[in-house]
Amino acid sequence: MGAPLPTAERLAVLEGARAAPPGATWALLGVVGHERYVEAREHKELAARSPSLGRPEAARAALIPIRKSEAWWALPQEERRAIFEERSRHIATSLKYLPAVARRLHHSRDLGEPFDFLTWFEFAPVDEAGFDELVAMLRATDEWGFVEREVDIRLER
């Protein structure tokens, strides 16, 4: 969905950086913030089951920047939550792929960036099919009907 990002030979994830390094082909900025649609019990379960980033076996990664429609942002918070979890089962679906897949969400909308969210995932090569299954299931939900643009960038080290 949408135009691709220009091809880049490599990707650097810079914690705390506020600007692209010299010579960068493109840069996406985001901040790790509070979980907007997660209830307390879900937060506890996610925290208990989520592995840390940078595991040696997690030689594959996916960066999926996402922009949602203005219709999404015009909805009240409780309606977005209902679409996110009650109807689309985003958290419940994702939990069964933990701890094989590590994830981190960066918020970009309030920074004036072209995407609302930068989703980062790491997994071992043996878990890539499971990750693809997870992404396909999420793309088939009611929530995904509000996605205007996404770019699926796959990486390996």
Domains of the chain and any CATH numbers: 40-156 (3.30.70.3420)
In contact, 62 and 53? CB cutoff 8 Å: no
8 A C-beta contact, residue 106 and residue 117 = yes
Give the residue ranges of DSSP H helices in 10-149.
40-49, 70-74, 77-81, 90-95, 128-139
pLDDT tier at 144, thresholds 50, 70, 90: very high
Predicted local distance difference test score (pLDDT) of residue 113: 92
Q: Which residues of 57-77 are buried (b: 16+ CB within 10 A; e: fewer)?
A: ebebbbbbbbbbeeebeeeee
Structure-block tokens of residue 103: 């994830």
Flag whether pLDDT at 131 surpasses 70: yes
**pLDDT at residue 12 tops 90:** no
Digit-coded pLDDT (tens) for 46-81: 999 999 999 999 999 999 999 999 999 999 999 999
| Residue 101 β-bridge partners | 123
